Amino acid sequence: MSYNRNIFMRIMSFLLLMMLCVSAIGCSRQKEALPQEEVVASPLQKEFSAAFTGEKDRKRIDVPFEPLKFTAQVKPYQVKADLSNIVNLQQFGEFTPEQRKLIAKNGFVVLPTKEEQLFYIYEKQ
């Protein structure tokens, strides 16, 4: 038993001595200061640097607003009360009676979703 303890103590003493030597050698050397590189502005840095202006310094461009003129070419339609004229109704799953009434009345119903973005829903369709 004392033989194993003696070996353990020698190994620990050796490791401690090595750690002290390494730390003493590492701390005693002074490193020379490295020369700092000069930062030279390139022509592209000036050209592409962000410049923020105050509200009063912004240039304004006046573009006249002209509402679009168009003629609706979709024939008016009515959703049937039993929703029989909706061709892809089964694609959206089951609806409650209240939801079916809203679809018949408004042509749509708004339901909650777990999707983060609205377009995720369109990608699934």
Question: Average of pLDDT values for 104-113?
Answer: 91
33 found inside a domain: no
Instruction: Give the confidence band of 103 by pLDDT, cuts at 50, 70, 90.
Output: very high
105 found inside a domain: yes
44 found inside a domain: no
Of the candidates 61, 105, 115, 57, which has an alpha carbon nearest to the alpha carbon of residue 81?
105
pLDDT at 43 over 80: no
DSSP states along 35-88: PPPPP---HHHHHH------GGGS---------------SPP----TT-TT-TT
Predicted local distance difference test score (pLDDT) of residue 99: 95
110 found inside a domain: yes
User: What range does the domain containing 109 cover?
Assistant: 77-124
Predicted local distance difference test score (pLDDT) of residue 115: 84
Answer for the pair 80, 104: CB distance below 8 angstroms, yes or no: yes
The predicted model scores a pTM of: 0.40
100 found inside a domain: yes
Q: How many domains does the chain have?
A: 1
56 found inside a domain: no
48 found inside a domain: no
120 found inside a domain: yes
CA 124/CA 8 separation, integer angstroms:
67
The more confident residue out of 61 and 31 is 61
Predicted local distance difference test score (pLDDT) of residue 119: 85
